[in-house]
Structure 1
Amino acid sequence: MDLISIFCGFCLFVGIVLTAVKLYEVSIKKPFVSEIKLHGKTAIVTGANTGLGYWTALDLAKRGARVILACRNLQKAEEAKKKILKELSDRGDVVVSHLDLSSMQSVRQFARETYEQESRLDILINNAAVSSMPKTITEEGLEFTYATNHVAPFLLTDLLLDLLKKSAPSRIVNLTSIMNTFGKVDVGDLQGKKDYDGFSSYCNTKLMNILFTKELARRLEGTGVSTCCVHPGAAGTEIFRGLWGNQLFTPFLSLFFKTPRDGAQTTLYAAVSEEMRNARGEYLSDSQVYDHTWWISGSAYDQGLCKKLWEATEAIIATTDLSSSN
């Protein structure tokens, strides 16, 4: 078989797979429709300047919530704020706050400012993530992808727990991905030192998000703070910006994947719906619980692994605390 035939066969296969994805997404497309209002409530959405985060923040603001756009790029965040306020005829309560999830020092500063400026926190949405990035070590000695996708959301949630408990009933929503099924967690190597590649690291951190959520749910029992994790579906967002050949890949996203607005619907269901007010670590997709299916790695139900990951992450965070104090 010549190379042209192999290439054509591969393209046909990819086309069939993408078409199947599109047909599935259309068949289950179900926007979250609810008249629930959030006046007097405060929500934080990380990575809210674009994609899923933007549409999540917009919906929460439309419901009357005070929404904090926690973003690394302040210019883009201000632009997102202007767009949201324009949608609300300048009657919304939207705040921009700097948060660089690759820096634990930035996470701590954001948490301090939140306690200084906010009297309550009802919804925390750990939305921001990166994918397929080259291996990069931060000034704190952490690998960029692992720091951004796992360590930072862990630390941010931990630092804001007192405010969430004070505001109970409150909710924590952690975004994950179906790619968790390809992930592996080595608690002795949470920074990809042994073997790193961008795609595998993304999958690993998405599994970590689920393990973190399930252990968090166990620790939050009786506090009035609920938590769950969400797979938004295959959505065409900037999460793909780290992929090789992104300039060629991006135009196809709108053809075969969910729009970011559609992808945000399950996050909103988790954050707002009455059905999820007592969530205890469930895995959601398409606005329904998908626990114990092929959508989620069997490792997610290993309570011992959940606990070990928690403790190993705390140890990593402790090293950044020491480095920032020197």
Structure 2
Amino acid sequence: MRSEPPIIDPAPRFGAGPALPGPNATRERMVGLCCAFGVVAVWSGFSLSARLAAQQSLTPWDVAALRYLGSLPVGLLLAFFVGWPRLSAGRSLALVAGAAFGFPLCAYLGFQFAPAAHGVVLLTGVLPFIAALLGALVLREPFPRRRWVSLGIVAAGILLLGLGTLDAAPGAWCGDLLFLLGSLSWAAFTILLRLWRVPAMAATVVLAVYPAFLYLPVWWFALPSTLGEASAAAILHQLVYQGLLAVVVAGFLFARAVNVLGSGQTTMVTALTPALTTFAAGPILGEWLGWVGFAGVATVSLGMVSGVIAPRGTPAGMVDAPARRG
């Protein structure tokens, strides 16, 4: 059976593949790193907002509905200006299943049982490991010794973060399992971006538009809702953050970073998300870390930095090899 050709973005400014050596290689790498750090900022707020929803009289199904309602008009507007993605229905549904349904639904449900620190550790902290494993198996991406060292440091930090927060939320194992499933869903989405070389804008439009038509009828007729009991401020907050920032902004930034840096290095940067979120969870949610947790924050940050800095002599943007088509 003949495989589909790679999608070519009609607007080159959005980028469709990994950066190549040349005069713009350094600039492209900096763009990719800025996009990846932007994802860290948005994802940190995503975890805090999703956890806060449990205190706002909103069910996880309501938060998901607001996510898709908020992203739909922006996605349609983007499609109007840049064109509809030239992506098959099968590939579009696969991307939606991982990034638009698997990741957020598992997160929203998991935050009903476990605190924010658990969520960011298991949703984004383990993401480099899962993405690296899938990348090696599916894309045959190289896995240099330096990457093993970086992941080992991140693993130690995640362990410390877990030890520093588990006592505060006994019985949160159900949420933890959901978080792991969500991380696996996003890792699969990451690998598919590289495998099919999906342009950042094409992925953004697909994730912003398709889920609304698939999910909202099911939510309206079959899923439990307490939307009528929530305040207008809570609804507007989740609509804007989950729909606009978490879907459109973070979706574009993540896809752009993966196209430039590769799946391995992008997810190494996003490993900083637990550190940022756990620092903010104290004053915002009242979920404070002890000294063990803070040691984990520092260790995860160290591992992230060691994974981002390219070794001397390595061309910018070439830390990860381009995806191979099988």
TM-score > 0.5, shorter chain as reference: no
Give the TM-score taking structure 2 as reference length.
0.27
Higher-RCO chain (CA-CA 8 Å, sequence separation at least 6): 2
Which structure dedicates a bigger proportion of its chain to strand? 1
